[in-house]
Structures are given as C-alpha cells and as structure tokens.
Structure 1
Amino acid sequence: MKRKIFTILIILGLILSAGLLFVYNWFNEMLQPPADSGISSEKIVLVPKGTSTAGIANILKEQGLIRSSGAFRVYTYYRGLESSLQAGEFSLKTGMTVPDIVNLLAYGETVSLTFTIPEGYNLTQIADRLAEMKLADRNRFLKAAETADFDYDFLKGIPKGPGRLEGYLFPDTYRITKDKTEKEIIAMMLKRFSREITPEFKANAAKVGLTIHEAVIMASIIEREAQKDEERPKVSAVFLNRLNKGWKLESCATVQYALGKQKARLLNKDLEVDSPYNTYKYYGLPPGPIASPGSASLKAAVSPADVGFMFFVVSEDGRHVFSRTLNEHNRNKALYLNSIKTP
C-alpha cells in the first residue's frame, strides 16, 4: 500500500513539475518580442496620465508590442514596478522584450518635443504657435492663462482675466512631452521667467522708480521698439526720460497692440484709437505689457543708458537715431522719413 502511495506521489510530482515547466516556458515565451522575423520597427506609444498597469498592457497589446497583456502585468508585479510606470510618449520597438519595455516605461525618458517662442511674441501669438504645432488647444491655453492659479510673487496683485500673463511667458526654446497640459506648459514658461527676476533686477527697478510689473511693461515696449540689443538701454532711457518729465511715451508699438495687429507704418487715424494702450493719447505706461520681453529688454528696462535723449527714429538698417531736442528729431524724421517706425 505504501509503495502505491509513493508511486502516486511520484507521478503527481512529475505532472506538477511538467506543468510548472510548461508554465515557466510559456511565460518566458510571452516575454519575448512578438515579431519573429528579426525586423524591428519603431512605434510611438502614448500612455495617458492615470493609466493603470492593465490599461498600459492593453495599449501595448493593441500596438503589437507584446504577446500577452497578462504576462506583462505579472512581470510588472513581480518586479514591483506597478506604481513606477510613467505617463507620456515613448519610443518603443517591436523587437523589445517585456523586461526591456518595462524598464523603459519605469526608468526611461519619454519622447520630447521642442518649441520656440520668439522674443516679442504676445499672448495670442504664443497660443497660435502652440496650436499650429498641435502642442496645445488655443482656447484652453488662453483660458488657463486667464484663470489658472500660479504661485509666483511677481503675479501677485495682477487680477485674473484676459491678458493677465501678457509679458510673463518667457520667450525661449522648451522641451516638453505631448501629454503636457496647457497649464503645465504655461507653468514651465513662468518658471523660466522667474529666473530673470533676480535680486539685482528688483533693486535696479526700484532705483529707476518702477515696480516689477511696471518694469515688465517697459521691457515689453522696448522689446517691440528696438531691434538691436546694444540700443535697448538707449531706448529705455528715452521712455524713462519721458516718464520723468511727464511726457506721453508716444510708442508706436503700444498703438499696434491696441489695434490688435502689426502694421509696417501707422497712419494718423491709427494714433487716434481710443485705448489705454494708446500712449499717443494717454500719459504714463499702458496698463499691462504688450509682448514677451527677452533678457536684454528686461535688463535694459531697469538699467537704462545714462543719456539725455528724448526722441528716436529708425533708419533703413533697423538702427535708431537718437536726439535730445525736438528740432533735432524733426531733422532726423525728415532724413529717415521712409523708414520711420517709432516716435
């Protein structure tokens, strides 16, 4: 009797071992690439935020990147990486094994995209560029700029609404993943802007009698008026000298912002537009920035050249001709009449 029981146990053990060996071999096979031809092709896979391990497995199975969604889940659980799988866009190949894919999703970099915002772009131009590149929805971007919360000292006191972040989305080249939301993109640009508001910038703004917001407004005007970095401090001096004397700024750039379009040359009727941004009509700085200033314009706004210039015109090569008196200015206007773009 004992011999029979022993024999049965041996048979059951062999069956169990064979079963375990079969499962082991099957599982290892399921971890291998689905493509047997040896030809590996690249696929871009988007893993949305909040996707579960099962959801990721289904995405990979549908894309033909794994043989078994169940095997993927079991392997991920075995590695203890269920909570480590990242969201975003990933570049995967059909020749990758499940361990390769799991490692990439857990530790690798997502596919990044780049976009560049030129200096002098305004808020709507930024939204349009991102929409054209299919990186953001234009309306959602502008809505986030109006209403979303961003914790930066330089934004305190600026009421929510259209144009709230005008001038504060720093012009630069950015790398993002395709799953970035409009608010996250804005946050990146604000964080980059914050690096410009140094203690030195704040101190210099106070020296010339400007708040941080006023300095950004001034920088935005300089950005739109000047083409040459070396001339920005002189352009800054002209506008600050005008403010200190109680003169109107008479900036064509602010009028163009009021008109909502860029014109190569303004007409007399354009200078009559009734807008607080029309500095030909109203004294002082406009109520907000008119564009995104770069580093050179921000620095110039709070560090003007020590000159007594009150006027300038632009010559055909884009350089400014500065003058101290109205008579000098009128002579320069007559000389460079065909290329006048600024007061």
Structure 2
Amino acid sequence: MYNDQFFQKDAQIVRKIVLIVCIAVFIACIAIAGGSYFYIKSALQPVDPDDRTPVHISIPIGSSVNDIANMLEEKQLIKSSLVFRYYVKLKNHVGFQAGEYRLNRSMSMEDIIAVLKTGKVTEKKGLKLTIPEGTQITQIAAIIAEKTGYKKEEVLRQLNDRKYIENLIQKYPSILSKDILNKNIRYPLEGYLFPATYSFHEKKPSIAEIVETMLRKTEKVLAKYERDKKEMNMTTHQLLTMSSLIEEEATEKADREKIASVFYNRLRIGMPLQTDPTVLYALGKHKDRVYYKDLEVKSPYNTYIHKGLPPGPIANAGEMSIRAALKPAKTDYLYFLATPAGDVIFTKTLEEHNREKEKYIGKQ
C-alpha cells in the first residue's frame, strides 16, 4: 500500500516535469519561429529606405548565388547573405547576369534581384551636385538652385525653417544639437553640409533629400574622429566651427595644422582669434582685402571684437581641415600671414607679423 502511494506520487511529479518541459519547448519554438519571421521580414526590406546614394558593384562571369550574396552583403546592399540565398532558392530566381551595376541601399531584395538579371548598368541620368570645400550655405543654395530649378530663396527658406531644423536634430542626434538654434547663428546648418560630389537618381530630388544626403555624409566622416573629438574635449559644433575657420584661412600651400595651432594658442591665452574670414562672414560679402574699418563691424561673428569661437561655423569645411582641428601642430606661433603667392608665414610676435605684413602686403 505504501509503495503504491509512493509510486503514484512519483508518477505525478514526473508528469508535471514532462508537462513543464513540453510547455517550455513549445514556448521556445514559438519564440524562435516568431524571431525568425521578424528577422527574415526585416532582411527582405531595404537596408536604408532614405539612402539612394549609388553603390557600384561588379559581378564577375561565373559568380554563384553564394558569391553574389556575399558581395551584396559586403557592400551593405542587403542585410543578410543567408536570407538572400534562401530567398533566391525559394522563389526559384535564376538567370543572374555578370556585369557592372549601380545599386543603392533604398532598394528591396526583390528590386536588387530584378536588376541583377538584366546585365546592364542601372544608373539613371539623374542629378550630380558638386559642393567645393569652404562653400557657404548661400553658395550651396545657389548651386542647388542652378542644378535643380528650385529658387535659391526656396532652398534657403527650408534651410532656415525652425520646425524642419528641429526635426533634423531629432533625426541626426550624433551630429546635430540645439547649439545650431542659437539666436546669433545666421544659418543653422552652416558647416554641417559636407563638401563632396553627390549623385541622385532623380533630376530634381526634394530639397530635404539633398540636405539629408549631405548630413549623412557629414555623419559618416565625423564618426571616424569620435575618439579624437573626445580627447580634445570638443563638441561637434565647436569642432565644425574651428574647422571652418581653418578652411577659410588655408591656401593650397598652407599647413592647416600650424594654422590650427595659432588659433588654439590664442584661445589658450585669452587673445581674440582675429581672423579676417569671420569679418567677411559678418559683412555678408566677399572682399579681396579687409580694411581696418571693416574690423569694426558689429556682429557676434567678428572675432576682432569678440573673444573665443564665433557662434557657429562660417563655411563647410573639408576633411583636411577637420583633421587639423583635431590634431593641431605644437608651436609657439600666435600669428600667420598668407602672401599673394599663397605661401603662409608664421610668426611669434606682433612685431614680426607686422614686419612680414608690410613686406608682402604693404600698409592698409
């Protein structure tokens, strides 16, 4: 009797254990199935629906589906080479052609597969924009207007639209902050539109698409220098502001690292930066020569009358100037002078600077 009760109790415990194990396995299977479904669904979607930057890919003759899948994943045109291979097999896609292609990360997996069956370059004759280093917002607006048919005023209006800028700050928090909303800043995105050549599929993409393509490029470039920026204890806004000063002062022959050292040396001793490009930016016009009367312009951008960095960038700097701002040379120089020939002369004292200035430029 005692043994029967003992075995019945053991049997109940075993049944409970088996039931718990079965339920756990069932839940795990559902979780795995659900996770797999969402993973596969995500993998079939575009890598970045907003990124239409052309990506060149060359498919050699004799490439297998595995080879193509790996190349697409390496170029970040698809999220998973494994899903690509199984999808191709499941849908019975055949007839991939060797060739040179220009795809983009806004394309779905099905779109990419369709293109790879043509054997032809898929790049459309769209829009190409070239933004030179040191270009200012007003100049960028003029370039966009000239190439697209938008009015310059229309471009500038969007670039100054507060709601649009606030939306961009939320969308690109790694580079944009409320610093660009400072009331003293003339154009919030000045300095943030990276100078480069951009290609678009459409002849007249939206202004927002053009602007955000440039912001993504800035984001990509600055990501390489995140550690350097932290070591310099600089915000992105400070970095791009300093970079713009270096960009505007530099000539082809200029040593940007030495120019950066002059600016940092002046900041360290509390001396005004006294850089002419900030005066020209304050005046809102280009001049071949800055006169003493120009230095009196009342503007927060005028570094002759205000110490420290100006409220924001005065131009859109290239990578060389960004790198110089992060890795300045170690010097005792406090002055530099660009000669008419494009050479830059560095000096330690005002007396030396004035002597070189009179020698190469003359008295103002």
TM-score range (shorter-chain normalised) is 0.5 to 0.7
Which of 107, 115, 118 pairs up with 2:129? 115
Aligned match of 1:22: none
RMSD: 2.2
Q: Is the CA contact (8 Å cut-off) linking 2:274 and 2:303 kept in structure 1?
A: yes
Identify unmatched segments of 5+ residues in structure 1: 1-102
Q: SS at the partner of 1:131?
A: helix
Q: Which deviates the most, 149-158 or 247-256?
A: 149-158
Matches within 5 A, 1:108-187: 108-147=122-161, 148=164, 149-150=167-168, 151-152=171-172, 153-160=174-181, 162-176=186-200, 177-187=202-212
Summarize the Cα distance change of 1:196–1:109 in structure 2 as closer, same or farther, 3 Å threshold: closer
Matches within 5 A, 1:86-97: none
Aligned match of 2:223: 198
Separation in 2 of the partners of 1:255 and 1:243?
18
Q: Is the CA contact (8 Å cut-off) linking 2:148 and 2:203 kept in structure 1?
A: no
1:332 CA displacement: 1.3
1:226 CA displacement: 0.5
Deviation per CA, 1:146-174: give whole Å up to 9, x if none: 23222112112234485110001011111
Q: Is 2:213 the counterpart of 1:188?
A: yes
1:210 CA displacement: 2.4
- Superposed structure 1 runs of 4+ greater than 6 Å apart: none
Separation in 1 of the partners of 2:285 and 2:274?
17
1:338 CA displacement: 4.5
1:290 CA displacement: 0.2
Q: SS at the partner of 2:274?
A: coil
1:256 CA displacement: 0.4
Q: Is the CA contact (8 Å cut-off) linking 1:314 and 1:339 kept in structure 2?
A: no
Aligned match of 1:271: 295
Q: SS at the partner of 1:174?
A: strand
Aligned length: 235
Q: SS at the partner of 2:346?
A: strand
Q: Is the CA contact (8 Å cut-off) linking 1:315 and 1:339 kept in structure 2?
A: no
Q: Is the CA contact (8 Å cut-off) linking 2:244 and 2:316 kept in structure 1?
A: yes
Separation in 1 of the partners of 2:217 and 2:179?
19
- 1:156 is matched by which residue type in structure 2? S
Structure index of larger Rg:
1
Summarize the Cα distance change of 1:128–1:186 in structure 2 as closer, same or farther, 3 Å threshold: same
TM-score of the pair, normalised by structure 1: 0.64
